[in-house]
C-alpha cells in the first residue's frame, strides 16, 4: 500500500511516500529555519504562508523521488493535531483536496504518534508494546505504547517542554534558532557541576522544566547585569545534565513499571548526545532493549506520518472531508473520531 504522508504542524514542510508502512520510498523535508531565525523563534503566520508556497511542489518532488505518479497512491496521511493551527490547516487542506481529487482514503495522524513511528522505520523488528519518551519543542511525554494506535500517557511535563527550554536558553545566550543542537555542541567539554541547577520533583512520572529554565536564565541575566564573565560551556553542560536527570530516571522507572523491557525515544530532543548516552548506559545496566532513531528521523518529517498512517488505516481511522486541524490533543485521543 503506497501512502503519501504530509507534515506541516510547525516550521517544516515535509512529505514522504511509504510502502506498507515501514518502507520509505522518499522523504522530502523543507525547513523554514532561515526564515524564523531573525525572530528567534517560529512566527506562526510566516510558517503558514511558507507551507502554502511550497507544499504542492514538495508533493511532486516526493512522488518523483519515490519513482511513482499520483495515480499510484492508495491513501493520503496527514498530521491533523497537535501544532500551530494555521500551519496544520495548510497540510490538512492540501491532503483533503488530494484525497478528494484522487478518490482515495484520507488518514488523519496525531503528530506524537508520528514521532513514535519514526522508530518503526528505523527498527523493522520493533513492535508494540513498549515505552516511548517523546521529547520535542512542544511536548515532553512518557508514553505506554500498547499498540500501534493505542497510546496511553504515563507522565508529561506540567509546564514547558524540554525542547522549548533548550531553545529559550540558547536564544538568551545568543545562539541561532532552534538552539537545542547549538547548546548541545557548546556543552561539550563543559563542567556539568559548574552551576548547581534545580531538579524539580513532581508526583508520578510527571516532569516540570520551568523552574530549571528560570534558574538558568537568572544566572545568565545576573552575569550580564554585573558585567561578569560567564562560563558558557559549564552552564550549558550543567543545564543539559539537569534536563537529563529529570528525564532519564523517571523514564527508566516508567519502563520498569510497564515491564515491557523495550524503550524507544522520539522527537527532536532525542538528538541530544548526553541524553542518548545516558539512556544507552541505563538500558545496558537493566538489560532493556533501547531504540534511538537516527538524527534524520528525530525531527519532524513526512516519513513518520506516512508510516503511522498505514497503522491508522489498518485500524480503520479514516476521515472524510469534514476533517479539521486541532491545535491541542492528547495522543491518548489520537485515533480520529468523526464529529
Ligand atoms: O521534534 P521537533 O523537530 O519539532 C517538534 O515537534 O517540536 O523538535 C524540535 C526541538 C527543538 O526544540 C530543538 O532545539 C530540539 O528539538 N533539538 C535538540 C537537539 N536537536 C534538536 N535539543 C537538544 N539537543 C539537540 N541535539
135 and 230 share a domain?
Answer: yes
Phi, psi of 125 (to 5 degrees): -85, -15
139 and 55 share a domain?
Answer: no
Distance CA 277, CA 288 (A): 14
Compute the mean pLDDT over every residue in the chain, rounded to the nearest whole number.
Answer: 95
3-class DSSP assignment, residue 254: helix
Query: Which numbered atom of ligand 1 lies nearest the CA of 267?
Result: 1
With a 6 Å cutoff on the Cβ, whether 178 touches ligand 1 is yes
Q: Evaluate whether residue 338 is within a structural domain.
A: no
Q: Evaluate whether residue 151 is within a structural domain.
A: yes
With a 6 Å cutoff on the Cβ, whether 269 touches ligand 1 is yes
Count of residues for the chain? Answer: 339
Q: How far is CA 307 from CA 271, 298, 310, 332, in A?
A: 20, 14, 5, 18
Torsion on CA atoms 290, 293, 294, 298, rounded to nearest 10: -140
Distance CA 157, CA 138 (A): 10
166 and 274 share a domain?
Answer: yes
CA of 132 to the centre of ligand 1 (A): 16
3-class DSSP assignment, residue 229: coil
Taking 80 as the threshold, does the pLDDT of residue 338 lie above it?
A: no
Q: Quick one: pLDDT at residue 339?
A: 64
Return the percentage of the chain with pLDDT > 90, whole number.
Answer: 91
- Nearest Cα residue to atom 23 of ligand 1: 180
143 and 252 share a domain?
Answer: yes
Strands, E assignment, the chain: 2-7, 12-19, 23-31, 75-81, 106-110, 130-135, 140-147, 150-156, 262-266, 289-291
Pocket test for ligand 1, best of 268, 273, 298 (most atoms within 8 A of CB): 268
Q: Quick one: pLDDT at residue 79?
A: 98
107 and 132 share a domain?
Answer: no
Taking 80 as the threshold, does the pLDDT of residue 336 lie above it?
A: no
Taking 80 as the threshold, does the pLDDT of residue 8 lie above it?
A: yes
Phi, psi of 35 (to 5 degrees): -65, -35
pLDDT higher at 333 or 140:
140
Cα angle 331-307-268, degrees, rounded to a multiple of 5: 60
Distance CA 96, CA 110 (A): 16
102 and 20 share a domain?
Answer: yes
Q: Evaluate whether residue 233 is within a structural domain.
A: yes
- Record the pTM: 0.94
- The total domain count for the chain is 2
Q: Evaluate whether residue 318 is within a structural domain.
A: yes
CA of 267 to the centre of ligand 1 (A): 7
| Cell output for 324 | 479539521
Q: Evaluate whether residue 339 is within a structural domain.
A: no
278 and 130 share a domain?
Answer: yes
CA of 286 to the centre of ligand 1 (A): 27
- Nearest Cα residue to atom 14 of ligand 1: 180
With a 6 Å cutoff on the Cβ, whether 167 touches ligand 1 is yes
Q: Residues 102-108: what's their mean pLDDT?
A: 98
Note the pLDDT tens digit of each residue in 208-230: 999 999 999 999 999 999 999 99
Note the pLDDT tens digit of each residue in 136-189: 988 999 999 999 999 999 999 999 999 999 999 999 999 988 899 999 999 999
User: In which domain, by residue range, is 328 found?
Assistant: 2-116+299-333
Backbone region of residue 165 per phi and psi (left: phi > 0; alpha: psi in -120 to 50; beta: other values): alpha
Amino acid at each position: 500500500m503506497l501512502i503519501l504522508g504530509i507534515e506541516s504542524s510547525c516550521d517544516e514542510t515535509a512529505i514522504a511516500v511509504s510502502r506498507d508502512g515501514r518502507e520509505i520510498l522518499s522523504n522530502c523535508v523543507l525547513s523554514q529555519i532561515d526564515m524564523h531565525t531573525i525572530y528567534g523563534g517560529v512566527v506562526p503566520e510566516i510558517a503558514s504562508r511558507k507551507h502554502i508556497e511550497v507544499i504542492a511542489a514538495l508533493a511532486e518532488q516526493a512522488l518523483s523521488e519515490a519513482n511513482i505518479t499520483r495515480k499510484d497512491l492508495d491513501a493520503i496521511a496527514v498530521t491533523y493535531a497537535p501544532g500551530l493551527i494555521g500551519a496544520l490547516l495548510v497540510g490538512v487542506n492540501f491532503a483533503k483536496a488530494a484525497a478528494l481529487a484522487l478518490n482515495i482514503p484520507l488518514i488523519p495522524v496525531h503528530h506524537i504518534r508520528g514521532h513514535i513511528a519514526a522508530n518503526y522505520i528505523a527498527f523493522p523488528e520493533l513492535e508494540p508494546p513498549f515505552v516511548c519518551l517523546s521529547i520535542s519543542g512542544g511536548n515532553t511525554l512518557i508514553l505506554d505504547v500498547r499498540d500501534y494506535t493505542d497510546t496511553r500517557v504515563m507522565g508529561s511535563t506540567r509546564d514547558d517542554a524540554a525542547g522549548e527550554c533548550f531553545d529559550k536558553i540558547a536564544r538568551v545566550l545568543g545562539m541561532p534558532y532552534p538552539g537545542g543542537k547549538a547548546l548541545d555542541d557548546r556543552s561539550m567539554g563543559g563542567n556539568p557541576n559548574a552551576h548547581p541547577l534545580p531538579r524539580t520533583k513532581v508526583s508520578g512520572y510527571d516532569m516540570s522544566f520551568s523552574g530549571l529554565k528560570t534558574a538558568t536564565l537568572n544566572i545568565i541575566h545576573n552575569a550580564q547585569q554585573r558585567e561578569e564573565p560567564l562560563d558558557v560551556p559549564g552552564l550549558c553542560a550543567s543545564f543539559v545534565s539537569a534536563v537529563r536527570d529529570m528525564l532519564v530516571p523517571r523514564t527508566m522507572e516508567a519502563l520498569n513499571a510497564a515491564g515491557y523491557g523495550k524503550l524507544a525515544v522520539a522527537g527532536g530532543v532525542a538528538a541530544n548526545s548526553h541524553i542518548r548516552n545516558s539512556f544507552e548506559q541505563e538500558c545496558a545496566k537493566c538489560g532493556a532493549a533501547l531504540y534511538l532513531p537516527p538524527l534524520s528521523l528525530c525531527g519532524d518529517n513526512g516519513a513518520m506520518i506516512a508510516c503511522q498512517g498505514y497503522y491508522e488505516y489498518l485500524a480503520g481511522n479514516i476521515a472524510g472531508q469534514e476533517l479539521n486541524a486541532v491545535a491541542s490533543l492528547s495522543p491518548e485521543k489520537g485515533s480520529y473520531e468523526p464529529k
